[in-house]
Amino acid sequence: MTTQKKYPIPSAEQEDLEESLGAVYHCFERGIRDKKSILAVLEEVVNVEAYGKLLSRGYAREAGSDVELSGEGMKLAEDVTRRHRLAERLLTDVLALSSHYVDPNACKLEHIISPEVAQSICALLGHPSECPHGSPIPRGECCREAGESVEPIISSLDKLSDGEKGRIAYLLLKNHPELHQLLALGLVPGTVFSLHQTHPTYVVQAGETTIALEKDIAEKIFVRRTG
């Protein structure tokens, strides 16, 4: 067994570099390229040494009064931005965290998500084009391979058609009585089911149990289609 980690935990310096590149990329998105503004952002978001390190590492360069990212710098900036915004979508769409928990946790996750995990998250969420705040998510190789029209791997139960089958992925219910009722009926993550009816209620067959669900409940049951 090898002792070398394929994806070692990033050092504090590496995290600072990624934070710096992400901050510069966000400035560029807003049309901010002048050195004075970018210096101010980096000092606030990272530290006073951040700008100099981007220059010395060859990730950024000055063009008159403006700042540019090198080819490698732009690639890394897009990558860390992609990881951050995919993490935001995961925390928002799947884990249903409140907005004030999303950004600080996404800032931590962006540094440890491997390329394979980022690709899996992207596919799980249906190759989303925007983060929860409406900012574009840089496309990855998995998005280009999937094409322009893709269906999410996970969708809410109300998006299924009569006769479709699936497996419950997670329940997005904050109302505890409703959640306990579904759990008592056997509708738990991992349950395999068939959808027999979608109107006027959603009728689900799970094993020997038949359950009728209102639309507002079906919208909060997220499933993976199996047939």
C-alpha 206/C-alpha 57 separation (Å) is 57
pLDDT tens-digit series, residues 16-62: 999 999 999 999 999 999 999 999 999 999 999 999 999 999 999 99
Give residue limits of the domains in the chain: 12-69, 79-146, 154-225
Q: Sort residue 56 into left (φ over 0), alpha (ψ -120 to 50) or beta.
A: alpha
Domain at 154-225, CATH class: mainly beta
Q: Which residues contact 37 (CB under 8 A, 6 or more apart)?
A: 27
Partnered with residue 209 across adjacent β-strands are 206
Phi and psi angles of residue 21, each rounded to the nearest 5 degrees, phi first: -65, -40
C-alpha 118/C-alpha 21 separation (Å) is 18
179-193 mean pLDDT? 86
The pLDDT of residue 6: 61
Nearest in space to 17 (alpha carbons), one of 61, 73, 70, 64: 73
Q: Would the pLDDT of 7 be above 90?
A: no
Whether domain 79-146 has CATH 1.10.10.10: the reply is yes
**Percent of the chain with pLDDT strictly greater than 70:** 92
The pLDDT of residue 148: 55
Using CA atoms, how far residue 155 sits from 96, 164, 203, 221, 223, in Å, is 14, 13, 17, 8, 6
Cut 0.75: pTM above it: no
